[in-house]
Structure 1
Amino acid sequence: MSAHASRHTLFAALAANAGIAIAKFCGAAYTGSSAMASEGIHSLVDTGNQVLLLFGMKDASRPADASHPFGYGLRLYFWGFVVAMAVFALGAGVAIYEGAEKVAHPEPIESAWVNVVILLIAILLEGSSLAVALRQVRSEAKRRALGMMETIRQHRDPTVFAVVYEETAALAGLFAALIGIGLAVLLDMPALDGWTSIAIGVILAFTALSLARRCYVLMTGQAADPAIEDRLREILGRVRPIEQVNEVRTMHFGPSEVLVLVSADFVDDTLAGTVERIVSDVEDGIREEFPEVRRVYIEAQSTHRHREALEDIGEEPDALERDDYEEDFEDTDHTSRPITQSTRIN
C-alpha cells in the first residue's frame, strides 16, 4: 500500500474526527450528557492520534544513514504504540471516570434530541472515514488474494489498521451512546447515561490494548507475510545449483520495507558468477510479486555448517521454520563457501 494511500486514509479520519469532536463537546455542554462528553473526548483523542501517525509517517520516511543503516521505518510502529497508549490513558480513562461521576451524581439530560442529531451525523461521518480505510484494505486484499478480515489481521501498516480499529470503536461507542441516552430519557434513569459512558470507556480500553499489542509485535521485529517466504522457497527450489534452502528469515523494518535473509546449500562446484546470476534472478522474481521486499541477502552455506552455526549461537535448527528441516541429509565433508552476494533494491 502506498504512502499516498495511507495519508489519504489518515486525512479522511482527521477531518471527520475534528469536526465530530467539536459537535460532541457542544452537545455535551448544552445537554449535560456525560456519555456525549465521553464521546467528545474519544473523538478529540482520535484527532490527536491521526496527527501523531502523520508525524510518525514523516519520521519513518527518513532515508537510511550510518546510525540507522536499515532506515527509520520501525519508528512508525513506535508512534502507533504511543497512539494506543493515548487511547487507553486519555480516552478510556477519562470516559470511565466521567461515567463513574455521573453514576454517583446522576442529573437529567436536557434537550436529548440535540444529542441524538449529533450522534446520527457522527455515525455518518465516522462510517465514511471507516469506508475510506476499508477501501484501502480491500485493494490490498485483492492484490494478495486474501479475505478482508485476514488482510486486516496481517496488515503491517499502523496508519491503516489503527484507523480501522479506531473508527470501528468509534461507531460502537456512538451506537452505545445513542442507545444509552435514549434509555436514560425514556426510562427516566439518568444514571444510565453514566453507565453508558463507562461502557464507552471499556470499548476504548479494549481497542487500545488490541492496537498496542499489534504495534508491540511489529516494533520488536515481526516476520513478513508467510506468503513471501513460501514464494521465495518456491523460486529457489527451481534453481538447480541449490541443493537445499537451509533457512529463510524475514523482518519488517516498516510497512513497505522488508528484509530477507537466505541461507542456501549450493552444489560444491558452483561458480561465483553463477551465484551472482541466481541472486539477481531471485531478487527480480520476489520483488515483482512483493514490492515491499527491499533488500535480499543470500548466503551460500552447507546444510551441515548451517546447523553448526546455529548451535554455536544457541538456536535450535527448527525454531524459525514453519516446516521441519529434512531429517535425512548427507553428513559429508561440506565446508562453508565464502560466496555471498547481497544487493540492495532501490
Structure 2
Amino acid sequence: MRVVRAPHQSHPTNRISRGQLGHASCTALSASTPPSDQRAAVITALLANVAIAIAKLGAAAITGSSAMAAESLHSLADSVNEILLLVGARRSRRPADVRHPFGHARYRYVYAFLVSLTVFWVGGVLAVIEGVSHLAAREPLGDPRWAFAVLGLAALLEGWSLRTTIRAGRPAKGALTWWQLLRVTKAPEIIVVFLEDLGALAGIFIALSGVTLATLTGEGAWDAVAAIAIGLLLMAIGLLVNRETQSLLIGESAAPEVVEAIRQAIGSTDGVKAVVDLRTIHVGPDDLVVAAGIVVDPTTSATEIARAIVEAEARVRRVAPFRTVMYLEPRVRESDS
C-alpha cells in the first residue's frame, strides 16, 4: 500500500487533446457508431470512388481536361483510402498476445495516419503537377459534354456516399455539430470518410467551374487552374486528417464527461474515500485503459480492499461505453497513517 500526500481536490485536470467541447458532447460519448455501420460507410465510399475514378479517367482521356485528370487522381486516392481503412480495421481485430497485451486496436489509427501521409499528399502533388504541365502547354479541351456528364454522375454518387457516412455517424454525433464530432471522435473512419466525401464534392465543383470557364472563354488555362486548385484541396484535407489522426495515434484521454463518470463510479464505491491521479488513454476507438489511486482507510483489511477494487471496476464498466482495462492502486493519506 502506498502513502499519498495529495488531497482529493488536487487531482490533475483531464482534458481532451483535440479540444474540450463541454457538456454538449455527452450524448455523442455515450453512443458510438456501430462497427458494422462504419464498415458499410467505408465500403459504400470505396464502391462509389472506384466507379467515379474510372468514369473521370475516361472523360479526361476524351476531353484532354487536366481538371478531369486531377479529379480521377482524387477519386483514385480516395479509393486507396478506403482500402487502407478496411485493412486497418481487419488487422485491429487480432486478439491480444504476449507482445501486444492491449490488443491491436491501434492499427485503425496507424492506417488512418498513413492515409493522411501518403494518399492525400501524393494525390495532391500529382494533381498540381498535372495542372502545371497543362498550364504551360495551354492545350485546348475536347468535347466538354463528356466532362459535364461524368461530373454530374460523380456528384450523385458522392452525394450517396456522403449520405451513408452521415447516417453512420449520426449515433455518435448526438447534439454536436459535425466539426465538433470530428474533433472528439475516436473513430478515424468517421474523420477520413466524412472529410473525403466533402472534399470530393468540393473537387467536383472546382472541376465543373474550370471546364465551364474553359468552354465559355476558349482558354484552357482555366481548366489547368482548376486542376491545381483540386491538388491544393487534397493537400489541405491531408493536413487536417494528419492533425486529427496524429493526436489519436499518440494516445488521447477519454473525453471529460467519461472521465468524470469514471471518477464518480470509483468514488461512490464502499471503502473508497477518494480517487487520486486518475489517468485514461484510448488504445483504440473502443478500448480504454484506466489507472487511478484509491484512498482507503489504513485499518481496512486486504480482503476488504480487494473487494472494493472489484466493485469499483464493475461500476466503471457499467458507465464507460468501452472495452476497459483497469488498474487501481490502494493508497492512504499521511494524515490517516
Q: TM-score of the superposition, structure 1-length normalised?
A: 0.83
Task: Verify the 8 A CA contact 2:144 2:211 in the aligned structure 1.
Answer: yes
1:156 aligns with 2:186: yes
- Separation (CA, whole Å) in 2 of partners of 1:273 and 1:148: 48
Determine the C-alpha separation between the residues in 2 that align with 1:76 and 1:215.
10
8 A contact 2:269–2:312 mirrored in 1: no
1:218-257 matches, cutoff 5 A: 218-239=248-269, 241-257=271-287
Moved more, 1-10 or 159-168: 1-10
Q: Match for residue 239 of structure 2?
A: 209
1:10 CA displacement: 0.9
8 Å Cα contact 2:183-2:244 kept in structure 1? no
- State the match for 1:81 in structure 2: 113
Runs of 4+ in 1 over 4 A off after TM superposition: none
In structure 2, distance between residues paired with 1:63 and 1:217: 24
- Is the Cα contact below 8 Å between 1:260 and 1:297 reproduced in 2? yes
1:187 counterpart (182, 197, 217): 217
Question: Unpaired runs of 5+ in structure 1?
Answer: 304-330, 335-346
Q: 2:123 aligns with which of 65, 82, 91?
A: 91
Corresponding residue of 1:269: 299
Aligned counterpart, 1:72: 104
1:7 aligns with 2:39: yes
What per-residue deviation string (whole Å, max 9, x for no partner) do you get for residues 41-89 of structure 1? 1101111111111111111111000011111111221111111122333
Deviation at 1:171, TM superposition (A): 1.0
Q: Please say if residues 286 and 293 of structure 1, whose CA atoms lie closer than 8 Å, have aligned partners that are also in contact.
A: no
SS of 1:261's equivalent in the other structure is strand
SS in 2 for 1:260: strand
TM-superposition CA deviations, 1:20-48 (whole Å, max 9, x none): 00000000001000000000011011111
- Residues 1:258 and 2:288 are matched in the alignment: yes
Matched residue type, 1:158: P
Aligned to 2:154: 122
Q: Which of 54, 63, 66 is 2:86 aligned to?
A: 54
Task: Call closer, same or farther: CA 1:133–1:285 in 2, change over 3 Å.
Answer: farther
Deviation at 1:333, TM superposition (A): 6.0
Other structure's SS at 1:251 match: strand
Read off the aligned partner of 1:113 and give its amino acid letter: R
Aligned length: 305
Paired residue secondary structure (1:118): helix
Q: 1:278 to 1:135 in 2, by over 3 A?
A: farther
CA distance in 2, matches of 1:16, 1:207: 19
How far did 1:160 drift? Answer: 2.1
2:132 equivalent among 100, 114, 139: 100
Alignment partner, residue 27 of structure 2: none
Kindly indicate whether the alpha-carbon contact (under 8 Å) linking 1:133 and 1:160 is maintained by their aligned counterparts in 2.
yes
User: 1:285 & 1:26 partners in 2: Cα distance?
Assistant: 59
Equivalent of residue 170 in structure 2, options 134, 138, 148: 138
The one of 319, 331, 335 equivalent to 1:332 is: 335
The worse-fitting range, judged by mean Cα deviation, of 211-220 and 290-299 is 290-299
What is the percent sequence identity of the aligned residues? 35
- Tell me, in whole angstroms, the C-alpha distance in 2 between the residues paired with 1:173 and 1:280: 54
Cα distance between partner residues in 1 of 2:247 and 2:67: 33
| CA distance in structure 1 between the aligned counterparts of 2:310 and 2:153, rounded to whole angstroms | 55
